[in-house]
Amino acid sequence: MRSKDEGRPRIQHGNSGKGTFFMNENEKNTNGMNEENFADAAQNIANQNTQNRQDAASDNYNYSWNGGNFVAKKRRNGKRVAALMVACTLVIAALAFCAGAIASRTFGGKDPTPEVSTPALIGDNSTGDEEQSETEHSKAPQVITSSATAKDDYDSLSKLYEKCSASCATIYVKASNGYAIGSGFVVSKEGYIITNCHVVSGGTEITVIFYNGDKYTAKVIGADSLSDIAVLKIEADDLTPIEIGDSSTLKIGDAVVAIGTPYSMSLAGTMTTGVISGVNRKVDLTNSYGTKTKTMTLIQTDSSINPGNSGGPLINMAGQVIGINSLKLSNYEGIGFAIPISSALNIINELIEYGEVRDYDSEFVTATPKLNITVQSVSNARTQYGLPESAPEGCFVVAVSRSSAIYKAGLDLYDIITEFNGTTIENNDQLTEALAKCSAGQKVTCKVYRMNRDGSGKTVEITFVLEAAS
């Protein structure tokens, strides 16, 4: 946490007041190479890799193996269709890689066979980024500080709603191909609104609509996809900020309510009741291809949360927000999840100050790392590609994204990964395990064995920063 002297005042607990892959397509060919033509191939590979790197910036060609020579095929530029209602998935499971007929494995690439019937995130919005200039953060006002002690319980739910609903709003998001709705809540009189990143992602126009009918055009001050938190700003007077509680003190069984706009504008201002069903839940999130992208520590609640509730507050009986409603298990009732407000505070403040997050709490959220390569075991590669017996055990690279960090650091097609971040690698499973021990953003070093034309080879050390799975 930065001191107040280092930046603007921050939300805190206090007193109430204010890739494209280039691949060897011979992977699909049952004809292997013998040692003799592998030596010739190695030279061709070395020559072609030089050309690949010259072409990497444009990434306009795919290279395939054809009788000992690389053939460049011009890629057609297809149009990308952005869907506003893109479904993300939630699973509570370990990361798995798909095995093919030759036991090749993709690390960070899109699995062509997505999982079906997986639980889903409650917010379904298109992807996109809202860019804000530094000047939009240069005059950030004092942000509300609220009571962290839940003591003045309301004697009726209607009184609780009366107090808190004035701080809640519907987030109406227009995009180029439709619209979406979500929820949010006010955290300062100066007009800062909190919601989920997936609610506003891809929006071309965002409107904050309070339950009394007041409407305001909103700017995205900062949106962070990893934590799924976004901060909006509206120009309004006399807003009612919600009090911020302390989610670290929650206990299973504590009563809570959720306020938001589920499903449609006609249901704006809906309140549902429930309890805290679990605390510090480790939840793995996957993309539509079944690849784990991150792990978050969340609050579980049985308070009814549905599409449109995303970004709205989870509130205790003292009228304090203790969580940001974010996701639920699809096809199941009564299993919803909220971002703990105590974990969100630092992210919220960094978004207000800088428009981005510079410091993540690894206990709250960690991004799954990716390599964006496809490998197979050397034993299989000896049969498939004619590798000589002198080739060491490890993971044989049969595809690598030219935009990936590992490629830019020096990895080439047909390299053999023999060591990853200090762990000896002899097969695909060992590379999977070694990668799973790391996190996105971490600097790692790996050793690869590179074949020469005469059948000899050399070990090359590569250092790079792991990218986040998407």
Could you report the per-residue pLDDT of 112-171, keeping only the tens digit for each? 322 222 333 333 333 333 333 343 444 444 444 445 555 657 778 999 999 999 999 999
Q: With left for phi above 0 and alpha for psi between -120 and 50, is residue 451 left, alpha or beta? A: beta
Judge whether residue 420 has pLDDT over 80: yes
Residue 43 has pLDDT above 50, yes or no: no
168-216 residue pLDDT tens: 999 999 998 899 999 999 999 889 999 999 999 989 999 999 999 999 9
If pLDDT is split at 50, 70 and 90, which confidence band does 76 have? very low
Quick one: pLDDT at residue 112?
Answer: 30
Q: pTM of the prediction?
A: 0.67
Q: Which two tokens stand for residue 188?
A: 């300062």
Res 105: pLDDT: 63
- Average pLDDT of the chain, as a whole number: 75
Task: Determine which one of 126, 137, 146, 228 is catalytic.
Answer: 228
Q: Which residue has the higher pLDDT, 205 or 10?
A: 205
Q: Does residue 247 register a pLDDT over 50?
A: yes
Per the CB < 8 A criterion, the answer to whether 309 and 325 are in contact is yes
Percent of the chain scoring above 70 in pLDDT: 68
Say which residues have a Cβ less than 8 Å from residue 91's Cβ, sequence separation at least 6. Answer: 115, 118, 119, 284, 285, 286, 290, 292
Per-residue pLDDT averaged across 255-284, rounded? Answer: 95
The pLDDT tens digits for 99-109 are 233 345 666 54
- Would the pLDDT of 110 be above 60? no
Q: Between 451 and 9, name the one with better pLDDT.
A: 451
Q: Which of 346, 172, 334, 191 is nearest to 264 (CA)?
A: 172
> pLDDT class for 456, splitting at 50, 70, 90?
confident
Residue among 310, 326, 401, 404 flagged as catalytic: 310
Could you give the CA distance from residue 325 to residue 310 in angstroms, rounded to a whole number? 5
Q: Residue 378, SS3?
A: helix
Instruction: Evaluate if residue 12 carries a pLDDT over 90.
Output: no
Domains in the chain, ordered, with CATH?
Answer: 4-17+123-367 (2.40.10.120), 21-74+89-111+368-468 (2.30.42.10)
Residue 13 bears catalytic tag: no
Q: What is the DSSP string of 398-448?
A: EEEETTSHHHHHT--TT-EEEEETTEE--SHHHHHHHHHTS-TT-EEEEEE
Q: Catalytic site residue 343?
A: no
- In the set 137, 198, 225, 343, the catalytic residue is 198
Token pair, residue 275, equals: 């309890």
CB atoms within 10 A of CB 12: 17
Given a cut of 60, is residue 240 above it in pLDDT? yes
Radius of gyration of the chain (CA): 26
Q: Which amino acid is at 162?
A: E
- % of the chain residues with pLDDT over 90: 53
Top mean-pLDDT range of 11-15, 236-240, 314-318: 314-318
Say if CB 145 and CB 11 are below 8 A apart.
yes
User: What's the gap between Cα 46 and its chain centre?
Assistant: 36
Top-ranked range on mean pLDDT: pick from 37-46, 129-138, 150-159, 293-302? 293-302
Q: Are 145 and 154 in contact (CB under 8 A)?
A: no
The answer to whether 312 and 306 have CB atoms below 8 angstroms apart is no
Active site residue 137: no
- How far lies 330's CA from each of 88, 119, 245, 335, 338, in Å? 11, 4, 28, 9, 15
Q: Which of 137, 133, 164 is nearest to 349 (CA)?
A: 137
pLDDT of res. 104: 58
Distance CA 181, CA 434 (A): 41
Q: How far apart are CA 13 and CA 20, in angstroms?
A: 46
pLDDT at 155: 74
The pLDDT value recorded for residue 148 is 53
- By C-alpha distance, which of 164, 111, 175 is closest to 372? 111
The pLDDT of 23-35, averaged and rounded, is 35
- 227-245 average pLDDT score: 94
Averaged pLDDT, 345-366: 91
Q: Tell me, what's the pLDDT at 152?
A: 58
pLDDT of residue 145: 46
Helix (H) or strand (E) holding 218: strand 215-224
**Sign (positive/negative) of CA torsion 249, 251, 254, 260?**
positive
Residue 172's nearest CA partner among 207, 200, 142 is 207
Number of alpha carbons in the 13 Å side-chain half-sphere of residue 199: 37
Residue 316 has pLDDT above 50, yes or no: yes
Q: What is the pLDDT of residue 278?
A: 97
CB count, 10 Å around CB of 352? 24
Report the SS3 class of residue 261.
Answer: coil
Q: Is the pLDDT of residue 34 over 50?
A: no
